[in-house]
Structure 1
């Protein structure tokens, strides 16, 4: 199976838990260690060899578009950037369904714009290409997100269940995954969640969703407290983040 060379960054959310900051700044453009979170996502994908990236936008879409066609395009001239401006908030599933024509039948990477992590995306893509899974999820047991551990894996390392509440023996889904037609074909055109509308029916029908387990830095930025904690943890992982090339040479 070939490694994916295209990706979608989910950047349309309203970031309600981070208000009032997100009333004026879209969450993907909020800084993480001095660089917009959206830029970190693109840096991971470019380093992994992705050639074309679609970015969806809804909340404060004009600001997102201006950043993509301006600073982001100048920072990453080697990659094709496409913005999908949604007329209404479509959710993670609806956003991907709207991009069916752009994605075609080839596999693709999906990254939440607010997912900050240091795991090597190249290794995850190689693992997916070497296996026979229909999809691959990045999962973590980062101590700061124990309340998000809802992903159950079976003995072979495949996703077997999503629990309604966190469990100590489960894993956290990092918001980074590789998918293809087995998931995309199940998504309705209406607003939906990619996990509930795509992955769970696919798993029930026999699709294999492999886990890519990582112990590298990963942080949730969904609340003010977690956003601050992510910076503290990110500074501790600076050496792992530096190869992405978003900081001047620290000498």
Structure 2
């Protein structure tokens, strides 16, 4: 089944300043490759007909991000430089140009290592079979309801509320940044287009109207990159995982992804020589 994908790449990345003063966050290299490409690589298991990316802060750094190493359509850039539209408004802005029945909305700055390479395909199949309005790809995380918000669902996976704090009688699930939506989500956007949150506004209106929104839980490693210290900590954690579990399918997939690129790029690691050397060794390993 073909679908339309929309990568959210218009954020300001304020917590990563000064590195994001000239670069959009998805253009910042992680393990030598732009964050945005780490997010997009998981879409290769799907049949993506069109790929949108929105532009706001440092748009030229996103236009310069080379997606040709990925088996995906060339991105169509949507200009939000005048006003950022949020996760919901971004999709509402192009919804009338979307012809596929299914849409995949993804965060353009995720570092996420699923244990199975077909997780998105499985989630899409279940989403389509059940004719849901939306299906969020999720995992368990101890910080849901504490430092992380969550999708709070019943035992059958049906979401009843999005909340930053625990909801009595429901289980919290961590959203990893990939969301399948039926095109009828257009009914729940506000027009004229404005800044809108896809979870707390758009899908919440859909649930109130009786639509099913569900979670697709799976086993994965997910890494926080929102602050400089967390970005560097996550870099070390991924390197540790690769060194300890080279034969793990998720690690093999990561190494294969890195091997496509000619050489690593560095930014945050420039003042961390030991970390840079570890990344360089990782690249040597990826080349076989």
TM-score normalised to structure 2 length:
0.77
Structure number, greater radius of gyration: 2
Compared with structure 1, are the counterparts of its residues 208 and 247 closer, same or farther at alpha carbon in structure 2 (3 Å cutoff)?
Answer: same
Matches within 5 A, 1:2-41: 3-41=1-39
Contact 2:9–2:107 at 8 Å: present in 1 too? yes
Give me the whole-angstrom Cα distance separating, in 2, the residues matched to 1:229 and 1:122. 30
Residue 196 of structure 1 and its aligned partner are, at CA, apart by 2.3
Deviation of 1:144 after TM superposition, in Å, equals 6.4
From 78, 81, 93, the equivalent of 2:75 is 81
Hey, what's the Cα distance between the residues in 2 that align with 1:109 and 1:150? 19
What is the CA-CA distance between 1:166 and the residue it aligns to? 5.1
Please give the secondary structure, in 2, of the residue aligned with 1:246. Answer: helix
Residue 246 of structure 1 corresponds to 257
- Over the residues paired in the alignment, what is the CA RMSD in angstroms? 2.3
Q: Given the alignment, which residue of 177, 180, 191 partners 2:179?
A: 177
Alignment CA distance shift 1:56-1:202 (3 Å): same
- Counterpart of 1:38 in 2: which secondary structure? helix
**Change in CA separation of 1:78 and 1:141 when aligned onto 2, cut-off 3 Å:** closer
Deviations 1:114-152 (A, max 9, x none): 122122322222222332322100112234665214321
Decide which moves more: 225-234 or 105-114. Answer: 225-234
Residues 78, 11 of structure 1: alpha-carbon distance in 2 compared, 3 angstrom cutoff: closer
Alpha-carbon distance in structure 2 between the residues aligned to 1:169 and 1:156: 10
Counterpart Cα distance in 2 of 1:242 and 1:155:
33
Corresponding residue number in structure 2 for 1:196: 200
Q: What CA distance in whole angstroms lies between the structure 2 residues aligned with 1:190 and 1:241?
A: 40
- Aligned position for 2:97: 102
Residue pair 2:5, 2:105 contacting (<8 A) in 1 also: yes
Q: Report the TM-score when normalising by structure 1.
A: 0.87
1:127 match: 126
Counterpart contact for 1:135–1:177, Cα < 8 Å: yes
1:140-219 to structure 2, matched below 5 A, reads 140-143=139-142, 147-165=147-165, 169-188=171-190, 189-219=193-223
| Distance in structure 1 (CA, Å) of the matches to 2:143 and 2:228 | 14
Indicate the larger mover: 226-235 or 165-174: 165-174
| Unaligned 5+ runs, structure 1 | none
Q: Determine the structure 2 residue equivalent to 1:111.
A: 106
Secondary structure class of the residue paired with 1:133: coil
Q: How many residues align?
A: 245
Q: CA deviation at 1:163?
A: 2.2
Q: What residue ranges of structure 2 are gaps of 5+ in the alignment?
A: 243-247, 260-285
- Return the offset for 1:235: 2.8
SS across alignment from 1:225: helix
Q: Closer, same or farther in 2 for the Cα pair 1:101/1:17, shift >3 Å?
A: same
Deviation at residue 190 of structure 1 after TM alignment: 0.9
Report the secondary structure of 2:156's partner residue.
Answer: coil
- 3-state SS of 1:40 partner: helix
1:43 paired residue number:
41
